[in-house]
Chain A
Amino acid sequence: MLTDLIALRETEPGDIRLLLDTAQSFREILERPVKKVPTLRGRQVVTLFYEASTRTRVSFENAAKIMSADTTSVAAATSSVQKGESLLDTVRNLRAMQIDCLVMRHPQSGAAHLVAQALDIPVVNAGDGMHEHPTQALLDMLTIRQHKGRLEGLTVAIVGDIAHSRVARSNLWGLTKMGAKVRFVAPATLLPRDVHGLPVEVYTDLRAGVEGADVVMALRLQQERMERGLLPSLREYAQRWGVNAKVLELTKPDCIVMHPGPMNRGVEIADDVADSGRSVILEQVTNGVAIRMAVLYHLLGGEASA
């Protein structure tokens, strides 16, 4: 049974499938004029974000509110973090306010793991450093499944800053557990050390990397990578590793294009792709709410019954 959602690497395939199925069944609620079900009435969900994020936080809060939970949002800039309080002290204080679930994002890998060990309530990792972002991968997988009807046997090419990407890591574990093949496509300076030890095919050449792919996922390129000297220029990156319509001619004809957002148009993804019929980027966002509803539903519930 799921008690926390920290990392897809540590999540059973059965639980991943359960979350996807549940989210799929919840999609209909998002289409209703009155988007409210009473399931989590009286439950307190806190979102604790140590990193700026609009999309993910709003997505979690909307999910919780649709399920009738009460939500409180704590941003690091306004909390006692500024006073030098440790992460564990901060979350123990929140817990003492009798909250029922903590959703957290943190710039340090392992932060959610640390907190989950210290708290007796469900903890949801909304992104920890370069480690994992499990709900993003789940919503990506749900979106792929809606388009392809399956995950098994698909080839998913993840293009971009693999080394620093928690999205790439979570998708790798989630997709491979569901039977998909994953490719990492990136310049050598944006590939992590010993990447060949992961269950993944690795390419430095974009054209080879996307050939025959069912799904191409472009990752956001942070400006910081240039500052650290990992890339010579945005221009060269866009030319060599930017996903554009021309490159997509090499994929399967029905290949879809994804992006976890926010996009740098003209860098990792061209306008002619982002706004094309192949782009499912906004569907990813909608599915994000359904996935987070499913996560809250299973984490806050009691003993499972069929």
Chain B
Amino acid sequence: MRTIFRKAHVCDPSQGIDRVADVVVDEGKVLAIVDDSTPYDVGSCEVIDCSGLVLTPGLIDLHVHLREPGFEYKEDVQSGTAAAVAGGFTAVCCMPNTDPPLDEPSVIRGLLKRAEQVGVARVYPIAAITKGLQPEGLTEMAALKEAGAVAVTDDAYPLQSAEVLRRGMEYAGQLGLPVLTHCEDKSLTKDACMNEGLTSTIMGLRGMPAVAEETQVARNCLLSLYTGCRLHILHVSTAGAVRIIRWAKERGAPVTAETCPHYFALTDEACMGYNTNAKMNPPLRTQADCDAIVEGLLDGTIDAIATDHAPHAAHEKAQEFALAPFGIVGLETAFALSFTELVSTGRMSLSALIEKMSCQPAKILGLPGGTLAPGAPADIALFDLKRSWTVRSSEFRSKSRNTPFEGWELTGKPVLTMVAGRIVYREG
């Protein structure tokens, strides 16, 4: 089956393409990007008129909580990947804090099988670095890699012991598995539920100081330099963390970093009124942090934008602020938020954004995709960047509605998503 995207504004930073062209897809792969696709139109192929639309390599999300197995009332592979493709994502990397956690090959294989059955977006499991995400006890990473894990992580259960992390990095390093770390010194965040600062002081809530994130970012970067292991810093939220990562990169540490749209779109003031949909970990910080995050994205210190899509049921969020779980959904708002906050405001080019949301994520974990080079998988997103729309969580494909962006007017809407040559999402 052949598909021709006609007269699309093609934006593929991996090849330096940023112009109107036709994209021809055949047998699940990109066949060609040409000015005139007439010769390729052999009949019986679907021709999609893309006038006025932007076509990019499908977005890749490095950080998603699909919640399956164990927490299917929040999300599952079906609903999570449906949300992903509705947001322009063709692949998601899913985190291991499930029940059971992704710490054994059988669980990884089971998950991949489910993803294949559902067949919406590509799913890349990230395994736990320790058994049961406990403070120590490395997982069988070689077997996990064989089963399909693309990286290991301590997400949501940050390793407090530098020794455990050091050995984990050494072990993962020999296997070529990147280590993804959630940076948080738990001794500084006991019982805390939001950023520590004026807002937490006014609200009377225990705060997580920025330094709790920064000390671990520094420690982990130093361990990366020391062990030579590929380190990826998850969800960077503070100005200090950006500076430390910049320093580590300058010294040649094999470190990459991601942030999430909420860390540049919102400050901790969004928590006012005890809005549990603005509660996540790391927490929303200050305007100075938001500005530093954008600066880090622009100068390449921060390589990627991920969502940290963390669905929770309504009743879990309808609690006292400190008792509500951390996390917000993000798959269906991430692109539009990033486009609105970064590109529409003139701070970032469209191709730089696609770089952060597609090309770099693919490179960081060595995944297929992130490019429309001939022969690459036909993972494609099509956006209407002129369209303004209002975030209505009731319309989400995700099972959960925990977004702080309800009612926001955003620009840029995914209109069609293709995975391996198959249209998996089409608006309307």
Footprint of B on A, CB under 8 Å?
9, 86-88, 106, 108-111, 113-114, 128-132, 166, 169, 192-195, 197-198
24 pairs of residues in contact across A and B, judged by CB atoms under 8 Å: A86-B315, A106-B320, A108-B322, A109-B204, A109-B205, A109-B274, A109-B322, A110-B204, A110-B205, A110-B274, A110-B321, A110-B322, A114-B274, A114-B318, A129-B322, A130-B204, A132-B204, A192-B200, A193-B196, A193-B200, A193-B201, A198-B198, A198-B201, A198-B202
Cα distance, A87 to B203, chains bound together (Å): 19
Task: Judge whether A114 and B320 touch: CB under 8 Å.
Answer: yes
Residues in A whose Cβ lies below 8 Å from that of B207:
193
Residues in A whose Cβ lies below 8 Å from that of B196:
193
For the complex with contacts A87-B320, A114-B274, A129-B205, 11 further pairs of A-B residues with Cβ separation under 8 Å are A86-B315, A87-B319, A108-B322, A109-B322, A130-B204, A166-B204, A193-B196, A193-B200, A193-B207, A194-B197, A198-B201
Let me know if B118 is at the binding interface, CB within 8 A.
Answer: no
Among B181-229, those with CB < 8 Å from A are: 196-198, 200-207, 209
Cα distance, A225 to B151, chains bound together (Å): 42
Smallest beta-carbon distance A235→chain B, Å: 26
Cα distance, A86 to B316, chains bound together (Å): 10
Residues in B whose Cβ lies below 8 Å from that of A132:
204
Residues in A whose Cβ lies below 8 Å from that of B318:
86, 88, 114
Interface string of B299-340 (1 = CB under 8 A from A): 000000000000000010011111100000000000000000
Mostly, the A contact residues are mixed
Task: Judge whether B201 and A108 touch: CB under 8 Å.
Answer: no
Smallest beta-carbon distance B39→chain A, Å: 63
Let me know if B43 is at the binding interface, CB within 8 A.
Answer: no
8 Å CB contact of A111 from B197, B198, B315, B320: B320
Q: Return the chain B residue nearest A10 by Cβ.
A: B273
Among B103-144, those with CB < 8 Å from A are: none
Task: Judge whether B204 and A193 touch: CB under 8 Å.
Answer: no
Task: Judge whether B204 and A131 touch: CB under 8 Å.
Answer: yes
Interface string of B144-183 (1 = CB under 8 A from A): 0000000000000000000000000000000000000000
Task: Judge whether A194 and B198 touch: CB under 8 Å.
Answer: yes
Task: Judge whether B205 and A130 touch: CB under 8 Å.
Answer: yes
Residues in B whose Cβ lies below 8 Å from that of A131:
203-205
Q: Which 3 A-B pairs have the closest CB atoms?
A: A110-B274, A130-B204, A131-B204
Residues in A whose Cβ lies below 8 Å from that of B201:
192-195, 197-198
Of A109, A110, A128, A130, chain B has the most CB atoms within 10 Å of the CB of A110
Residues in B whose Cβ lies below 8 Å from that of A113:
273-274
Residues in B whose Cβ lies below 8 Å from that of A192:
200-201
Q: Return the chain B residue nearest A194 by Cβ.
A: B198
Q: Return the chain B residue nearest A88 by Cβ.
A: B318
Smallest beta-carbon distance B20→chain A, Å: 50
Residues in B whose Cβ lies below 8 Å from that of A130:
204-206
Residues in A whose Cβ lies below 8 Å from that of B198:
193-194, 197-198
Smallest beta-carbon distance B109→chain A, Å: 36
Smallest beta-carbon distance B332→chain A, Å: 25
Residues in A whose Cβ lies below 8 Å from that of B204:
109-110, 128-132, 166, 169
Cα distance, A110 to B320, chains bound together (Å): 6
Q: Return the chain A residue nearest B197 by Cβ.
A: A194
Task: Judge whether B202 and A9 touch: CB under 8 Å.
Answer: yes
Contact A86 to B321, CB < 8 A, known contacts A130-B205, A193-B201, A197-B198: no
